[in-house]
């Protein structure tokens, strides 16, 4: 076991886990931040997407112990009132079906807009291609990312 | 530790269920007219609310809680059910809170999600729940105001008597209403007067979903609970020996238990269990037939060629029709097993406490979960509570209770609260797949190209009846024989979104396309001629509405500009399943020698559309699902285990591969039918027929892209 500090959603959090524990399981099992989802565990589906210094990473394959110097943002910390432009667009477009993948989709979309505030539809497709939605809400996701870019 | 932040059924009963019949009398401590400083929590509303029926409670504040009994897995029932109750109540939707009801077989019937059946089953019940409550609220107002009931109007949660200029919100009348008995029969609204039904009411869980609140089964944690992962045997095998020394050596592993034919690893957090499962050494030995995909291919050939099927329907005399035919068309179609692969893997929480048990988690069939637990524990079902979480997808997988049984077994063995979690590999290799099926179709045409004979033989692996003998074209062909034959395999199967028809529709609609072209007829016209036959000189019983099927065909032909653009190659398909009619046209354009699927147009007749956003989600989602699995879905077996173990090899459709999907509805005015499944079946056929139109290649097996046989086509799907 190793004790180390993480900076998650602007707060210092001390954790005590095996060094190889992925951030995903530290968030879910240790810190009660269950908005970040487990689905494939091998960086194929994007349900576990969080931000490392504003960039999208797969928390399921990233050891938490490698992130002690970084700012981590999860869906719970994306905005205080759930009113980040991406969240607002997701509301407006009414994106979700089952909703399980949507936190990861939102975090990925927010990271895209951090880098590129006015993405083309092709750029949206390219960026969002790393997240799977088994319900097939892709049309709505595409529409909501484009709307979020305008809201920003 | 996070816990699901919602009132449990028991808490609710403690608060509100103090009198039989649910007539709890609230006290009027605030008025809606006074400015509200604080938004009341749902618990606070329920603490003072009167329960009118199983669906509906209203507080003196005017706040309304509507209970939605059926499990929500993305079909939007948690939003559309309450919309129907609120409609007949004439409620102000902004005052409505929705709560997922726990399992309660005394209050609700058919508390499950499956068969696209919730809305048709509950439509009238939900309307009556709203209308009877409105009736007693209006009667209360009439009594308190001493005015005739007929002079009272209700709009948006406000009861008004125009002549005396009296008005008040629902909450002001709940105390009086509690003294009244609601009538059995009430006047329901005319659909033209609907104000909530038919509008794009947003998903009631949006806030929670988009901010990462605990909602799903996997999000459930309780202080002191154990976590468990399970190693299951390959199909047709049993445990020979278990070496758990390496697994036990992983820090965080508390115990390794053998139960039934499985091995459970128990600890207090997930990651150590995942590591331990990788080093757990279980050896297996055959306990039946250990099968691979090559075995299934051989078994299919044998079933089709040599085995006598069970006759499901026989009309006229097929032998003489085929003997007298001018032309006979024969083709065989085959599909692989598929995994359901919902994004949230299987999981469940169980806490066995002596002769009682508590179950919490994602299930499409909460009563089956309870009955399964009762069977394992040997206790009465009434001693078991089931709390239904939101489901991160289901697609039929969560109709089964195998993963619930594991949680119950392990809780019993450890004498502790336990959450069982499957990893993705468990989910793909743990069974209950869409059955693999092969079909043989034969059609007899007369000299004028009329289909005078039709034969279908379905051969399935653990499929049950792999045909749907009364579906179109049955009734439209004078001589017809439909039969099925089944092989029993250790590989387990289960309903998969639009069971059987998810593949049968593709095979049949592709075959009918072959027949139409052999008959020298336009595929749309060919279907319309058959339907004309079904209408004017039907053969045997007809269990679909011919006019509604014609309606969706004509609509899709018009909306897709069927046959009007020579550079766009189109494929047509129509299917009736789960009480709903859907016709689709797929558009393929050749781009530099590559056929590119760019658009699907769909026309749906599901009767009244309750929520257009939800309906579009289901139709588009069903089409994307049908498209994705037709293109990529392939679960192959080697020695009793699937070859594909995660999403790197078991390919699901992604953003870049999704073309335009253009959705239309036929306004038939019928009561609403379900939409969770019916849009999926026609999609594969429309695509296969468009591929034929574009390339001359007839794709008689799925998947189209993820299969070596069709790799030279370079087929692509993408946004237009």
Alpha carbon dihedral B657, B662, B665, B671, in 10-degree steps, equals 20
Query: Does residue B426 form part of some domain?
Result: no
Last residue of one domain, picked from the residues A77, A96, A122: A77
Task: Tell me how far CA of residue B517 lies from CA of B326, B527, B692, in angstroms.
Answer: 15, 12, 11
Q: Whole domain around residue B388: which residue ranges?
A: 217-287+346-421
Instruction: Tell whether B720 lies on the interface with A, counting CB pairs under 8 A.
Output: no
Categorize the per-residue pLDDT at A27 as very low, low, confident or very high, splitting at 50, 70 and 90. very high
A70, A98: one domain: no
pLDDT value of residue B19: 29
Chain A residues in contact with B653 (beta carbon < 8 A): 136, 138
Please state the domain count of chain A. Answer: 2
Query: Does residue B671 form part of some domain?
Result: yes
A72, A136: one domain: no
Tell me if B345 and A134 make a contact (CB, 8 A cut-off).
no
SS3 track for chain A: CEEEEEEECCEEEEEEECCCCEHHHHHHHHCCCCCCCCCCCCCCCCCCEEEECCEEEECCCCEHHHCCCCEEECHHHCCCCCCCHHHHHHHHHCCCCCCCCHHHHHHHHHHHHHHCCCCCHHHHHHHHCCCCCCCCCHHHHHHHHHHHHHHC
B15, B140: one domain: yes
Instruction: Tell whether A103 lies on the interface with B, counting CB pairs under 8 A.
Output: yes
In total, the C-beta contacts within 8 angstroms joining chain A to chain B are 181
Low-confidence ranges of chain B (pLDDT < 70): 1-38, 720
Beta pairing partners, B451? B445
Closest residue by Cα to residue B606 from B596, B614, B597: B614
Beta strands B479-487; B451-461: pairing state: parallel
Note the pLDDT tens digit of each residue in B158-207.
Answer: 999 999 999 999 999 999 999 999 888 899 999 999 999 999 999 999 99
* CB < 8 Å from B in window 35-64 of A: 35-42, 44-45, 47
B365, B324: one domain: no
Chain A residues in contact with B393 (beta carbon < 8 A): 98, 100, 134-135
B358, B497: one domain: no
Q: To the nearest whole angstrom, how far is the Cα of A68 from the nearest Cα of chain B?
A: 19
A9, A66: one domain: yes
Beta pairing partners, B328? B444
In contact, B501 and B468? CB cutoff 8 Å: yes
CA-to-CA distance for B503 and B687, rounded, in angstroms? 13
Residues sharing a CB contact under 8 Å with residue A11, sequence separation 6 or more, in sequence order: none
A103 closest CB neighbour out of B202, B212, B623? B212
- The mean pLDDT of chain B is 94
CA-to-CA distance for B371 and B663, rounded, in angstroms? 40
Closest residue by Cα to residue A19 from A34, A4, A33, A8: A4
Q: What is the per-residue DSSP string for B579-599?
A: TEEEEEEEEEEEETTEEEEEE
A39 closest CB neighbour out of B252, B274, B343? B343
End-to-end CA distance of chain B: 46
Closest residue by Cα to residue B240 from B290, B284, B286: B284
Tell me if B343 and A41 make a contact (CB, 8 A cut-off).
no
Closest residue by Cα to residue B437 from B411, B465, B461, B415: B461
Beta strands B96-100; B64-68: pairing state: parallel
Last residue of one domain, picked from the residues B164, B190, B211: B211
CA-to-CA distance for B228 and B273, rounded, in angstroms? 7
In contact, B384 and B370? CB cutoff 8 Å: yes
Note the pLDDT tens digit of each residue in B610-666.
Answer: 999 999 999 999 999 999 999 999 999 999 999 999 999 999 999 999 999 999 999
B263, B179: one domain: no
Radius of gyration of chain A (CA): 15
The CATH number assigned to the domain holding A41 equals: 3.10.20.30
Query: Does residue B3 form part of some domain?
Result: no
Chain A residues in contact with B273 (beta carbon < 8 A): none
A136 closest CB neighbour out of B424, B620, B656? B620
Residue B6 CB coordination number (10 Å)? 18
* CB < 8 Å from A in window 401-460 of B: 421, 423-424
Q: Whole domain around residue A94: which residue ranges?
A: 85-151
Q: Which residue has the tokens 């399981």?
A: A25
The CATH number assigned to the domain holding A143 equals: 1.10.150.120
B445, B409: one domain: no
CA-to-CA distance for B182 and B171, rounded, in angstroms? 17
CA-to-CA distance for B197 and B191, rounded, in angstroms? 9
- The mean pLDDT of chain A is 97
B416, B561: one domain: no
A90, A73: one domain: no
In contact, A95 and A63? CB cutoff 8 Å: no
Tell me if B207 and A82 make a contact (CB, 8 A cut-off).
yes
A69, A90: one domain: no
Beta strands in B636-707 (DSSP E): 637-638, 641-642, 660-665
A102, A120: one domain: yes
Q: To the nearest whole angstrom, how far is the Cα of B133 from the nearest Cα of chain A?
A: 30
Chain B residues in contact with A98 (beta carbon < 8 A): 72-74, 342-344, 390-394
A36, A66: one domain: yes
Please state the domain count of chain B. Answer: 3
Query: Does residue B201 form part of some domain?
Result: yes
Beta strands in B375-520 (DSSP E): 384-388, 418-421, 437-445, 451-461, 479-487
B282, B175: one domain: no
ipTM for the predicted complex: 0.98
| Per-residue DSSP letter, B141 | H
Task: Tell me how far CA of residue B318 lies from CA of A57, B81, B93, B323, B459, in angstroms.
Answer: 62, 47, 58, 8, 20
Last residue of one domain, picked from the residues B179, B211, B243: B211
B151, B229: one domain: no
Q: To the nearest whole angstrom, how far is the Cα of A69 from the nearest Cα of chain B?
A: 23
Last residue of one domain, picked from the residues A46, A77, A108: A77
Tell me if A41 and B646 make a contact (CB, 8 A cut-off).
yes
Mutate to test the interface with B, among A1, A41, A97, A123 (most CBs of B within 10 A): A97
Which tokens sit at B496?
A: 């998969």
Last residue of one domain, picked from the residues A77, A107, A122: A77
Beta pairing partners, B487? B461
Tell me if B211 and A38 make a contact (CB, 8 A cut-off).
no
Beta pairing partners, B155? B158
The CATH number assigned to the domain holding B601 equals: 3.30.365.10
Task: Tell me how far CA of residue B445 lies from CA of B42, B218, B318, B333, B509, in angstroms.
Answer: 65, 56, 12, 20, 17
Angle at which helix A138-151 crosses helix B612-632, to 10 degrees, equals 120
B195, B279: one domain: no
Tell me if A99 and B205 make a contact (CB, 8 A cut-off).
yes
Mutate to test the interface with B, among A28, A43, A100, A128 (most CBs of B within 10 A): A100
Query: Once rounded to an integer, what is the mean pLDDT over residues A114-134?
Result: 97
Closest residue by Cα to residue B63 from B30, B100, B14, B22: B30
A73, A90: one domain: no
B542, B634: one domain: yes
In contact, B54 and B99? CB cutoff 8 Å: no
Task: Tell me how far CA of residue A17 lies from CA of A20, A65, B133, in angstroms.
Answer: 8, 9, 54
B233, B168: one domain: no
Tell me if A41 and B424 make a contact (CB, 8 A cut-off).
yes
Query: Does residue B111 form part of some domain?
Result: yes
Query: Does residue B428 form part of some domain?
Result: no
CA-to-CA distance for B226 and B209, rounded, in angstroms? 26
Q: Which residue has the tokens 């689905």?
A: A39
Q: To the nearest whole angstrom, how far is the Cα of B600 from the nearest Cα of chain A?
A: 13
A62, A7: one domain: yes
Query: Does residue B709 form part of some domain?
Result: yes
Instruction: Tell whether B243 lies on the interface with A, counting CB pairs under 8 A.
Output: no
Query: Does residue B341 form part of some domain?
Result: no
């Amino acid at each position: 076991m190793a004790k180390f500090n993480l900076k998650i959603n602007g707060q210092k959090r001390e954790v005590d886990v095996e060094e190889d524990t992925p951030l995903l399981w530290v968030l879910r099992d240790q810190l009660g931040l269950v908005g970040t989802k487990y689905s494939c565990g091998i960086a194929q589906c994007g349900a576990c997407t969080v931000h490392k210094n504003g960039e999208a990473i797969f928390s399921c394959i990233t050891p938490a112990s490698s992130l002690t110097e970084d700012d981590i943002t999860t869906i719970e910390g994306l905005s205080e009132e759930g009113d980040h432009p991406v969240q607002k667009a997701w509301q407006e477009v009414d994106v979700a079906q089952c909703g399980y993948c949507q936190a990861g989709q939102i975090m990925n979309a927010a990271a895209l807009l951090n880098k590129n505030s006015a993405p083309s539809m092709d750029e949206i497709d390219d960026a969002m291609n790393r997240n799977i939605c088994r319900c097939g809400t892709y049309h709505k996701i595409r529409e909501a990312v484009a709307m979020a870019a305008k809201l920003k | 530790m996070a816990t699901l932040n919602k009132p449990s059924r028991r808490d609710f009963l403690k608060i509100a269920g103090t009198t039989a019949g649910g007539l709890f009398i609230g006290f009027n401590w605030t008025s809606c007219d006074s400015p509200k400083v604080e938004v009341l929590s749902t618990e606070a509303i329920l603490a003072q609310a009167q329960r009118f029926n199983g669906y509906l409670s209203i507080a003196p504040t005017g706040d309304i809680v509507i209970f939605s009994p059926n499990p929500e897995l993305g079909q939007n029932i948690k939003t559309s059910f309450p919309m129907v109750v609120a409609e007949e109540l004439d409620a102000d939707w902004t005052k409505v809170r929705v709560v997922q009801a726990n399992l309660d077989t005394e209050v609700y019937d058919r508390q499950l999600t499956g068969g696209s059946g919730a809305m048709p089953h509950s439509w009238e019940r939900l309307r009556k729940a709203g209308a009877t409550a409105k009736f007693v609220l209006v009667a209360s107002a009439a009594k308190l105001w001493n005015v005739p009931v007929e002079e009272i109007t209700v709009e948006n949660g406000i009861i008004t008597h125009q002549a005396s200029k009296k008005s008040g919100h629902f909450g002001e009348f709940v105390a009086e209403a509690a003294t009244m008995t609601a009538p059995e029969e009430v006047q329901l609204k005319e659909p033209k007067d609907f104000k909530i039904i038919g509008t794009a009411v947003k998903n009631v869980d949006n806030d929670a979903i988009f901010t990462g609140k605990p909602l799903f089964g996997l999000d459930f944690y309780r202080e002191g609970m154990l976590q468990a992962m399970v190693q299951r045997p390959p199909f047709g095998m049993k445990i020979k020996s278990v070496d758990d020394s390496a697994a036990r050596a992983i820090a965080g592993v508390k115990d390794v238990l053998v139960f039934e034919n499985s091995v459970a690893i128990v600890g207090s957090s997930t990651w150590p269990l995942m590591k331990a499962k990788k080093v757990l050494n279980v050896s297996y030995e055959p306990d039946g037939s250990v099968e691979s995909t090559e075995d299934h291919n051989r078994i299919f050939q044998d079933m089709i060629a040599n085995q006598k099927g069970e006759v499901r329907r026989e009309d006229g005399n097929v032998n003489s029709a085929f003997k007298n035919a001018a032309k006979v068309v024969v083709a065989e179609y085959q599909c692989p097993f598929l995994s359901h692969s919902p994004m949230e893997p299987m999981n469940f929480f169980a806490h066995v406490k002596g002769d009682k048990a508590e179950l919490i988690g994602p299930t499409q069939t909460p009563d089956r979960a309870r009955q399964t637990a009762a069977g394992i524990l040997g206790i009465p079902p009434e001693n078991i509570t089931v709390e239904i979480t939101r489901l991160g997808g289901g697609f039929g997988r969560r109709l089964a209770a195998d993963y619930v049984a594991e949680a119950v077994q392990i809780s019993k063995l450890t004498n502790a609260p336990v959450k069982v979690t499957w990893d993705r590999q468990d989910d793909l290799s743990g069974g209950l797949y869409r059955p693999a099926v092969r079909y043989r179709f034969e059609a007899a045409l007369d000299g004028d190209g009329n289909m005078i004979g039709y034969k279908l033989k379905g051969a399935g692996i653990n499929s049950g009846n792999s045909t749907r003998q009364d579906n179109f074209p049955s009734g439209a062909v004078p001589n017809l024989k439909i039969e099925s034959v089944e092989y029993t395999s250790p590989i387990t199967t289960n309903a998969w979104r639009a069971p059987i028809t998810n593949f049968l529709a593709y095979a049949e609609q592709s075959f009918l396309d072959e027949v139409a072209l052999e008959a020298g007829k336009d595929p749309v016209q060919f279907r319309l001629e058959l339907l004309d036959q079904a209408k004017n000189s039907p053969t045997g019983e007809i269990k679909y509405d011919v006019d509604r099927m014609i309606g969706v065909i004509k609509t899709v032909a018009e909306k897709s500009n069927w046959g009007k653009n020579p550079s766009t190659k189109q494929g047509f398909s129509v299917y009736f399943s789960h009480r709903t009619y859907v016709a689709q046209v797929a558009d393929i354009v050749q781009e530099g020698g590559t056929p590119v699927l760019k658009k699907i147009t769909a026309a749906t007749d599901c009767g009244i559309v309750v929520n257009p956003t939800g309906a579009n989600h289901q139709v588009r989602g069903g089409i994307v699902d049908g498209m994705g699995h037709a293109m990529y879905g392939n679960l192959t077996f080697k020695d009793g285990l699937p070859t594909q173990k995660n999403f790197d090899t078991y390919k699901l459709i992604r953003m870049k591969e999704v073309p335009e999907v253009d959705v239309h509805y036929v306004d038939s005015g019928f009561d609403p039918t379900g939409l969770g499944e019916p849009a999926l079946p026609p999609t594969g056929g429309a695509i296969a027929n468009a591929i034929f139109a574009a390339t001359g290649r007839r794709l008689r097996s799925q998947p189209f892209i993820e299969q070596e046989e069709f790799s030279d086509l370079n087929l692509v799907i993408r946004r237009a």
